[in-house]
Amino acid sequence: MYDYFNGKLVFKAPMHVILDVGGIGYHIHISLTTFSQIKEQENCKLFVSFQVREDAHTLYGFATEAERQLFNHLISVSGIGPNTGRMMLSSITPEEIQSAIVNGQVQVIQKIKGIGPKSAQRVILELQDKLKKEGADALIPLPLAKLSVPEEALTALVMLGFGKPQAEKVLNSLVAVDPNQSVEALIKAALKKL
């Protein structure tokens, strides 16, 4: 229903703000991550997630589209409500949460207040594949620094829908010819042969 609000910050607290947009004050719940990014601002743009329950209509605001996207993924998991999702984003950074989910690090998720071992496993089980698939398009970059150039190119090609064995074979032949190619050059050359 709403995508974002852009206005004057009338009130700021670590857990919520009041944003004046065209003379209307919106009470918007935020994470500590968002608060740290907007606390010095007088005017700001918040990407919102509008949550409707029987007893309340609540706005959750985020400084970045990526944080909102991750929040929406988190609350799609059975047993994770908006307040728990916000607590997760307040406890560790969105990048750390995404990395922990993608890499299956149950202990990292479990350290968050209110998340037990079963909830942590459920979050990883339900979101791991989804976040891996979104990796190429994700607004929060996945930690690819540990991958070699051919591995990074392979990951990108698989995300584009090419079969892993076929893409691997093509990349190996390209690396054999010129082992010093950049990821972009390797992907472009592979796309011509696939």
How far is residue 153's CA from residue 161's CA, in Å, rounded to a whole number? Answer: 13
CATH topology assigned to domain 66-134: DNA polymerase; domain 1 (1.10.150)
pLDDT for 190 equals: 85
CA angle 113, 109, 157 (to 5 degrees): 150
pLDDT for 25 equals: 96
CA 174 to chain centre: 32
16 pairs with which residues across the strands? 29
Q: Where are the domains of the chain?
A: 4-62, 66-134, 149-193
| Half-sphere exposure of residue 166: CA atoms within 13 angstroms, side-chain side | 10
CATH architecture of the domain formed by 4-62: Beta Barrel (2.40)
pLDDT digits (tens, 9 = 90+) for 106-165: 999 988 877 889 999 999 999 988 888 776 445 444 444 456 788 878 877 776 677 888
Burial of 9 (0-12, 13-18, 19+ CB in 10 A): middle
How far is residue 54's CA from residue 47's CA, in Å, rounded to a whole number? Answer: 23
Q: What are 112's two structure tokens?
A: 């968050």
The pTM of this model reads 0.68
The answer as to CATH 1.10.8.10 being correct for domain 149-193 is yes
